[in-house]
Chains A and B, each alone.
Chain A
Amino acid sequence: DQQVKQNSPSLSVQEGRISILNCDYTNSMFDYFLWYKKYPAEGPTFLISISSIKDKNEDGRFTVFLNKSAKHLSLHIVPSQPGDSAVYFCAASEYGGSQGNLIFGKGTKLSVKP
């Protein structure tokens, strides 16, 4: 059973508008969440993270929101740019878990149209 779910395989957004990528999780022991971005033929690159003691973390155009009661997090990109077009993976980790192992969702492909 998937512990980290990204229910939207794809998302298309106009340049300059907001992109919202969603992620749900089932394991209440997860206490650290990350977003990775992946371009074709490259490895994933770390984008932004959030600890379960926070409900928001912001880094430039990227903001991650965490709703622990709903077991839901989202990544907001404002404003979206064509270079943001990539696959975005949500990942989660359990404190004291196996050496920081991450559980990944299946990814959402974001297309930002000029």
Chain B
Amino acid sequence: NAGVTQTPKFQVLKTGQSMTLQCAQDMNHNSMYWYRQDPGMGLRLIYYSASEGTTDKGEVPNGYNVSRLNKREFSLRLESAAPSQTSVYFCASSVTGTGAYEQYFGPGTRLTVT
């Protein structure tokens, strides 16, 4: 099992450009999440998907959109990148509804917006 995979690992964008961060999990988890981590900050939730076909905003959703393509895949899109979106982005997945709240994280995408 690969667990949670993310592509790309690194990306540099110019202000105004768009891009999609890809995430896939092979653990048959129903819930998936996108976080960002900034220096001196914890992980902040951008969007999550409780199950296939549903998505909801987290703490910091502005400037992002998401798509839950199927049970395995959850993508994060930046339509018009801004320097404030320079961050490390983590995707995670979990089984919910069983009382187990452990989330399993991917290796991250380091994004720089110039």
* Interface residue? B26 (CB, 8 A): no
- Does B102 lie within 8 Å of A4, measured CB to CB? no
- Would you give the shortest CB distance from B43 to chain A, in whole angstroms? 4
Cα distance A46–B31 when bound, in Å?
16
- Does B108 lie within 8 Å of A43, measured CB to CB? yes
Given A89-B42, A99-B31, A106-B41, A46-B103 contact (CB < 8 Å): yes
Q: Which residues of B contact A93 (CB under 8 A)?
A: 101
- Does B96 lie within 8 Å of A46, measured CB to CB? no
Q: In the complex, what residue of chain B is closest to A36 when comparing beta carbons?
A: B105
In the complex, which of the residues A9, A102, A105, A107 contacts B103, with contact meaning CB atoms closer than 8 Å? A102
Cα distance A106–B43 when bound, in Å?
7
B interface residue numbers (CB < 8 A to A): 4, 31, 33, 40-45, 48, 50, 56, 58, 90, 92, 94, 96, 99, 101-108
Interface majority SS (helix, strand, loop, mixed), chain A? mixed
Residue in B58, B92, B104, B105 with the greatest tally of chain A CB atoms within 10 Å: B105
Cα distance A6–B41 when bound, in Å?
11
Given A34-B102, A43-B105, A98-B48 contact (CB < 8 Å): yes
- Does B96 lie within 8 Å of A99, measured CB to CB? yes
Cα distance A93–B44 when bound, in Å?
14
Given A101-B33, A107-B42, A49-B108 contact (CB < 8 Å): no
Q: Which residues of A contact B42 (CB under 8 A)?
A: 4, 6, 89, 104-107
Known: A46-B104, A49-B101, A98-B48. 9 other contacts (CB 8 A): A41-B107, A43-B105, A89-B42, A101-B45, A104-B42, A104-B43, A104-B44, A106-B40, A106-B41
